[in-house]
Amino acid sequence: MNNNVDVAIAGAGIAGCLLARNLARDGHRVAVIEKSKREDAGHDWWDTIKIATFARVGMPEPEPPELMSTRHEATVYLPLETKPLTAPPRPESIHVDRKLLEQRQIRYAEEAGAELLFGAKATGPLLDGDQVVGMGVETAEGEKIELRAKITIDAAGMSGVLRSKMPEKFGFPQQVERKDMFVTYREIRNNTTASRDDLLIFGKNNGVVWVNRAEAGMVDFFAGAINFPGRTEPRDIVNEMIRKTPEAGDRIMRGGYGAPIPVRHCFDSFVAPGFMLCGDSACHCSPIDGSGMASSMIAADHASKIAHAALENGDTSLAALWPYIGAYKREQGVPFVGLDAVQKFMVSEPKINLELLFTRGVLKIEEFWGSGGGAGGNKLKMLLRLIKLVDRPLFVRRLIASVGIGAKLKVHYMNFPDKYDPAEFAAWVKGKESLFAELPPAMLPPR
C-alpha cells in the first residue's frame, strides 16, 4: 500500500466503501484501513433500507440473495404490552443482507481503484498543528506505519477510533454519552414452523425489542436499550423472548452478538482541517432505533463531493470541508433532530402516557416509526386527535410543547451556517442547545 495518498479512510463499512468508490472514481488515490478480515466484513444479519437510497447514491439496487424480503405487517406492543396494534407494511423498504451488501461495496471500491488493507487497525490521527495529515496504522503483522493523506476520514463506527483522539474544539465530542447510545444484542435462529408473523415491542426497557420471521426458515430476535445505569441486559431480554417463542430452534444461524449504536441527533460539526467524520462516527443515524444504513450512505455521498472539490482546489481547510455539514443536516438531519426531541420527551414520560398516545389513536405507529414523526404535518388533524387525551391535560401540554420544539429544531437545522465562521457557528450551537433545554423536564428518572 502506498503510504502517501489523497484520502485515507478508517473503516470499510457502508459509509467508508461508498466514500472510497466515489473518490477513487474521481481520480484520487484512496486507502481504506479495516480492522476485520476481508471475509468477516459486514454484519452477520440483514437490515432494512429504503430501496430509493440506492438510486440516490448511484448504486445498483440489490438482487437476491443480497436482496431478501420487503417489510411485512407487524404486530406492535407498547411498553406495558396491554393492547396489540398493527404496523402496516412499508413497500418502500426492503431487507438486505448486510454482509453481502458490504462485500459488494468492497468490490466497487476496489474496481474504482481504491486500496483496501484488511486486518489492520487505525491507531489515531496524525496532526501537524490543527491540520490532520493522515493516520497511524498497525498492520495484522504488527508493523506500525504512518499513512499520510490530504484528507483523513473516520468512518469506523460509533467508537470513533480517530475522533476519540481529536481535540473537541472542532464541534464533535471524543465519546458518545451513555444516554445517547443503545446497547444491543441480536440472535437469528432456525424457525421450526411456517409462521411469518412479526412482533415489535416499542419502549420496552427504554428501547426496542423485536421477533421477526420475515425470512423463511429463520426467526430473528433483537433487543436494544438506552444505556442508562441499571438497565436490563439486551441479551437477557433476547433469551426471555426465545423462551416465549416455541418455534425458535436451538441453532444460531446468524448474529449471536451485539454492539453499541448511537441514538441521538448528529454532531454539531463533523469536520476539522483535513478531517471528516462519516456514518456512525458522526452519529448519522435515526434517534429512534439507531438505524443508519441509508443516512450513512447519504452522508458518504455528500462527503465525497465536498472532499473531491477540496482536493481539486488544493484546499483541505476546515472552511473548505464545511459545506458537507450543512448539506447532510438539511437532507437527513432535519427529520432526525425532530425525532430526537420527541424521543427524549417519550423516554421521560410515564409508560402509561406512551401507551395511551398510540392505543387511543392520537399517533399512529407508522407516523412515529417513519422519518418525520407526527400526524403528517397537519396541525388541525393532530389537534382533533388530542381531544382523545382530554383526561390528561398535563401530558397534552407537555406533548404539544415537545412537538413544537422539534419543529423549531428542524428550522434551526435548515439555517445551519453555509460558511465557516467561528462566532456564527458558536451562536448556532448555543441556539440548538437552548431549544433542547426547553423540552419539558423529565416526569420520571430514566429507567
How far is the CA of 86 from the CAs of 29, 238, 313, in angstroms?
50, 22, 53
Residues of the chain with pLDDT > 70, as a percent, come to 93
Judgement on whether residues 350 and 410 belong to the same structural domain of the protein = yes
What number of other Cβ atoms are within 10 A of residue 110's Cβ? 16
Judgement on whether residues 31 and 156 belong to the same structural domain of the protein = yes
SS3 324: helix
CA–CA gap between residue 112 and residue 410 (Å, rounded): 37
Specify the DSSP element, H or E, that contains 243: helix 234-243
Judgement on whether residues 46 and 61 belong to the same structural domain of the protein = yes
CATH, residue 26 = 3.50.50.60
What is the widest separation between alpha-carbon atoms in the chain? 68
Instruction: Pull the grid cell for residue 251.
Output: 441453532
Judgement on whether residues 380 and 349 belong to the same structural domain of the protein = yes
Q: Cis omega (within 30 of 0) on the bond before 65?
A: yes
Sorted by sequence, the CB contacts under 8 Å of residue 383 that are 6+ apart come out as: none
Domain termination site, one of 321, 345, 362: 321
Judgement on whether residues 104 and 219 belong to the same structural domain of the protein = no
Per DSSP bridges, beta strands 30-34 and 4-10 are parallel
Judgement on whether residues 301 and 410 belong to the same structural domain of the protein = no
* Residues in the chain, pLDDT under 50: 371-377, 443-447
Are 177 and 168 spatial neighbours (Cβ–Cβ below 8 Å)?
no
Judgement on whether residues 230 and 270 belong to the same structural domain of the protein = no
SS3 417: coil
pTM of the predicted protein model: 0.93
Instruction: Pull the grid cell for residue 440.
Output: 419539558
What number of other Cβ atoms are within 10 A of residue 96's Cβ? 25
Residue 383 in domain: yes
Residue 30 forms beta bridges with which residues? 7
CA–CA gap between residue 296 and residue 17 (Å, rounded): 11
Q: 137: buried, middle or exposed (CB in 10 Å: 19+, 13-18, 0-12)?
A: buried
What pLDDT does residue 379 have? Answer: 57
Judgement on whether residues 370 and 284 belong to the same structural domain of the protein = no
CATH, residue 191 = 3.30.9.10
Judgement on whether residues 170 and 188 belong to the same structural domain of the protein = no
Nearest to 211 by CA among 198, 224, 202, 223: 198
Residue 72 in domain: no
Residue 85 in domain: no
In our burial notation (b when 16+ CB lie closer than 10 A, e otherwise), range 249-281 reads beeebbbeebbbbbbbbbbbbbbbbbbbbbbbb
Residue 328 in domain: no
DSSP letter at 372? Answer: S
- To the nearest 10°, report the CA torsion of 239, 245, 247, 251: 0
Residue 294 in domain: yes
Are 440 and 402 spatial neighbours (Cβ–Cβ below 8 Å)?
yes
Domain termination site, one of 277, 298, 321: 321
Q: 293 lies in which domain range? A: 4-66+94-174+266-321
Residue 258 in domain: yes
Judgement on whether residues 294 and 371 belong to the same structural domain of the protein = no
Q: How far apart are the first and last CA of the chain?
A: 49
**What are the backbone angles phi and psi of residue 329, rounded to the nearest 5°?**
-60, -40
Q: In whole angstroms, how large is the CA radius of gyration of the chain?
A: 22
Q: Kindly report the length of the chain.
A: 447
Residue type, 42: G
Judgement on whether residues 304 and 382 belong to the same structural domain of the protein = no
What pLDDT does residue 442 have? Answer: 54
Residue 431 forms beta bridges with which residues? none
Place of cell 407516523: 367
Q: 289: buried, middle or exposed (CB in 10 Å: 19+, 13-18, 0-12)?
A: buried
How far is the CA of 392 from the CAs of 128, 379, 387, 399, in angstroms?
58, 19, 10, 11
Residue 78 in domain: no
Residue 281 in domain: yes
Which residue pairs from 362-369 have beta carbons closer than 8 angstroms and sit at least 24 positions apart in sequence? 362/386, 362/388, 362/389, 365/76, 365/85, 365/86, 365/87, 365/202, 366/87, 366/88, 366/90, 368/288, 368/342, 369/87, 369/202, 369/288
Judgement on whether residues 157 and 187 belong to the same structural domain of the protein = no
Number of domains in the chain: 3
**DSSP per-residue letters across 60-87:** PPP-TTTEEEE---EEEE-TT--S-EEE
Domain termination site, one of 211, 238, 262: 262
